Amino acid sequence: MRILLISLLLFSAATAPAARLKELASIEGVRENQLLGYGLVVGLSGTGDRQQTVFSTQSLSNLLRNMGVNVAPNALRVRNIAAVVVTGSLPAFARPGMRMDVTVSSIGDASSLRGGSLVLTALKAANGEVFATAQGPLSIGGISAGGPGANVSVNHPTVGRIPEGGVVERPAPSVSPSAEGFRLTLKQADFVTAARVQAALERKFPDAVVQAENAGSVWVRMPDSFRERPVEFVAQLDEVEIEADRGARVVLNERTGTVVIGGDVRIAPVAVLHGSLTVQVTTDLAISQPAPFSPGATTVAPQTNVQVTEEAAKSATLPAGATVEELIRALTAIGSTPRDIIAIMQSIAAAGALEAALEVI
């Protein structure tokens, strides 16, 4: 495994800036709904599904049969169609006639969807009901070109989008906030944040009933003055500023060498001693030639050389309550590489000196 890059994102350890409630929580029942459909993309320039993908020709045969043209699937020999899966998100409170973006992804062996158009496709929810339809030309963000033995592909030419290609056919199953009460769901469950939300809403709306039920939800009942104006109440509710409590966390990505350290991270008294041992093995091939007109044969004699290099151990001492800035300065001073920093952070956490949650992804 090779570590390529390290990125250290340092956040101020001071009080985090307040965020609007709409960034921290959402009203229960007010959400998007995922839609899924199966369709055909036509008009491709020879980059569609091949004969190995039998369901695309079957789909084309069914499409033509619905239009009054009877063609057996085994009689179709086309390369300008592709079977695709169409996905989209139905916005909350969407009404019939509203437009939505859809994503089209090839599920066969098509090499590119560039230049294709999606045939009218029904988009269904998890319960099997049709809530929208999609159709239109695809916008592809990648290219694919080449010939026999040489191909070049940039990004993903088998996935495309149709901006506003979906049309809502049925109202979204959303629940409007009730004057009798509704529930706010925190995007990140935290008892401190829930308590701060309750306190802030009680200051903003003294006549409202606000109760933090647990770390992830807050119950709110509208004041009598807003019972006939629920939309206005929710609009003012979303603008209330809350100082969310964010726990100290260190995230390590060993695949890319990325280290993200929050500004609230503290280090207990700890000493770090780090060194590296490098073993290099090289093989030289020596060719041995026999004397002229001798019965010997040419042979290859491998010669192996082993070189061992060990760097002097480097140490860094961190005082009690060391900040992120001091930690980074200490690790940089001893010449730590991305792989070294990941190993050091894991060792510090194993020693119980890291006052933060360690997450490896």
pLDDT tens track for 149-183: 556 666 678 899 999 999 999 998 888 888 788 99
Q: Distance between CA atoms of 239 and 242, rounded to whole angstroms?
A: 9
Mean pLDDT value across the chain = 80
Taken as a whole, the chain contains a residue count of 361
Q: Are 166 and 102 in contact (CB under 8 A)?
A: yes
**Which residues have C-beta within 8 Å of that of residue 206, sequence separation ≥ 6?**
none
User: Which pLDDT does position 290 carry in this prediction?
Assistant: 73
Domain segments of the chain: what residues? 19-29+182-242, 33-168, 250-360
Beta bridge partners of 305: 282
pLDDT in tens, 98-136: 999 999 999 988 888 988 999 999 999 999 999 999 999
DSSP characters over 269-313: SEEEEE--EEEEEEEEEEEEPPPTT-S---EEEEEEEEEEEEPPP
What's the pLDDT at 14?
Answer: 43
Higher pLDDT, 32 or 11: 32
Dump pLDDT digits (tens) for 279-327.
455 656 677 777 676 676 777 677 666 665 666 666 666 666 666 667 7
Residue 228, judged by CB atoms within 10 A of its CB (0-12, 13-18, 19+), counts as exposed
Question: CA-to-CA distance for 306 and 317, rounded, in angstroms?
Answer: 35
